């Protein structure tokens, strides 16, 4: 059975995230930073989430794990294996069924030896043996177990983070920008590990600003813009080029890559507090018409999904 025909491990439906904050005169205000994110990830599949910074990629990762700041409010649905992912379930599954590979290696405890960090979730002799095997699998010699994080290179620290996350064989792995600061070789190797984990049956949500690396490992790519999903497409469409894509922003995003036309997109992503009516990309879109000022829902198109009234 292909990934396409199985029940999603993760389903995110029209997720909104707002933050309560104090505005002028200490008035309490709510700022909605995520407008509408939807996607799903199936067993054995890597779905990469791409978009410029501020598009909402990392907030999605944190919402799935239930680790948003306390002033965050969410609306919409997040389902894990068909079940509503409540805060209680997020606590129960976090670190076991659902694992986070965080953005920064600062998540490693600087005062704890590597071997201990790799078994911290499960503990016990059997867990130690499993962790040792996992470290070996990621090319980390037994002596690394005795090391502290500051003694590791960037690539090694990154591998330790992966081991700590996957040692409990989670069904869903959320990797939040796992490659910044790594050289091309170490970044490619990190992503190869994700491919391996997906091939062994995990569902992987890969949040990255680096679409080029995503193209190497992902099965599908979701493009975020100003807190909305604007397109979800098979990776082959991105490899084929902009004509195979559906949304004007995805096309422009691809065109802006150095290996393509290297043409920056004119204008800027709108600020969350000052969003236009209707399509959020309208100010930068050459195809806009009056219809674009109405609400624009996601719709299926050519084996993918798009949030654009004129996409064909």
- Tell me how far apart the alpha carbons of residues 158 and 108 are, in angstroms, rounded to a whole number: 9
Instruction: Compute the least distance from the CB of residue 56 to ligand SF4, in Å.
Output: 17
Nearer to ligand SF4, 197 or 230 (CB): 230
Q: Is-contact 233 221, C-beta < 8 A?
A: yes
- Tell me how far apart the alpha carbons of residues 139 and 144 are, in angstroms, rounded to a whole number: 10
Nearer to ligand SF4, 160 or 280 (CB): 280
Q: Which stretch binds ligand SF4 (CB under 6 A): 113-121, 134-142, 157-165, 280-288?
A: 280-288
- Tell me how far apart the alpha carbons of residues 41 and 33 are, in angstroms, rounded to a whole number: 23
Q: Which stretch binds ligand SF4 (CB under 6 A): 25-33, 210-218, 238-246, 277-285?
A: 277-285
Site string for ligand SF4, 66-105 (x = CB under 6 A): ----------------------------------------
CA distances (Å), origin 85, targets 18, 71, 291 = 18, 19, 36
**Residue selected from 135, 198, 252, 292 as contacting ligand SF4 according to rule CB under 6 A:** 292
Nearer to ligand SF4, 173 or 308 (CB): 308
Instruction: Compute the least distance from the CB of residue 285 to ligand SF4, in Å.
Output: 3
Instruction: Compute the least distance from the CB of residue 275 to ligand SF4, in Å.
Output: 13
- Tell me how far apart the alpha carbons of residues 138 and 145 are, in angstroms, rounded to a whole number: 13
CA dihedral 142, 144, 147, 150 (to 10 degrees): 180
The radius of gyration of the chain from alpha carbons, rounded to an integer in Å, stands at 20
Strands 98-101 and 299-301 come out as: unpaired
If one asks whether residue 293 binds ligand SF4 (CB under 6 A), the answer comes out as no
Strands 172-176 and 98-101 come out as: parallel
Nearer to ligand SF4, 182 or 296 (CB): 296
Instruction: Compute the least distance from the CB of residue 283 to ligand SF4, in Å.
Output: 8
If one asks whether residue 281 binds ligand SF4 (CB under 6 A), the answer comes out as yes
**Residue selected from 32, 81, 209, 310 as contacting ligand SF4 according to rule CB under 6 A:** 310
**Residue selected from 287, 295, 297, 299 as contacting ligand SF4 according to rule CB under 6 A:** 287
**Phi-psi label, residue 266: left if phi above 0, alpha if psi -120 to 50, beta otherwise:** beta
- Tell me how far apart the alpha carbons of residues 51 and 222 are, in angstroms, rounded to a whole number: 9
Q: Pick out residues in 231-260 that bind ligand SF4 (CB under 6 A).
A: 248
Binding interface with ligand SF4 (CB under 6 A): 248, 279, 281-282, 285, 287-288, 292, 296, 308-310
């Amino acid at each position: 059975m292909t990934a396409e025909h199985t029940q999603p491990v993760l389903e995110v439906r029209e997720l909104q995230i707002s933050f309560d904050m104090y505005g002028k005169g200490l008035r309490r205000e709510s700022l909605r930073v995520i407008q509408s994110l939807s996607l799903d990830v199936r067993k054995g599949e890597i779905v990469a989430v791409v978009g410029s910074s501020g598009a909402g990629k990392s907030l999605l990762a944190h919402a799935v794990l239930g680790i948003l700041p306390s002033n965050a409010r969410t609306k919409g649905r997040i389902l894990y294996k068909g079940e509503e992912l409540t805060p209680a379930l997020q606590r129960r599954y976090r670190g076991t069924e659902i694992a986070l590979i965080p953005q920064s290696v600062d998540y490693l405890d600087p005062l704890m030896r590597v071997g201990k960090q790799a078994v911290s979730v499960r503990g016990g002799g059997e867990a130690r043996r499993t962790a040792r095997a996992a470290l070996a699998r990621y090319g980390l010699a037994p002596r690394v177990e005795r090391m502290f994080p500051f003694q590791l290179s960037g690539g090694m620290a990154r591998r330790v983070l992966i081991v700590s996350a996957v040692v409990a064989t989670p069904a869903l792995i959320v990797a939040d920008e796992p490659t910044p600061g790594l050289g091309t070789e170490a970044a490619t190797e990190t992503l190869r590990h994700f491919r391996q984990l997906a091939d062994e049956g995990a569902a992987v949500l890969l949040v990255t600003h680096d679409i080029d690396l995503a193209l190497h490992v992902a099965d599908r790519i979701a493009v975020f813009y100003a807190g909305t999903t604007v397109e979800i497409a098979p990776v082959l469409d991105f490899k084929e080029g902009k004509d195979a894509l559906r949304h004007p922003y995805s096309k422009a995003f691809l065109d802006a890559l150095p290996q393509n036309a290297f043409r920056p997109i004119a204008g800027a992503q709108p600020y969350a507090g000052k969003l236009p009516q209707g399509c959020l990309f309208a100010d930068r879109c050459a195809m806009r018409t009056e219809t674009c000022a109405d609400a624009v829902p996601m719709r299926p198109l050519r084996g993918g999904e798009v949030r654009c009234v004129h996409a064909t």
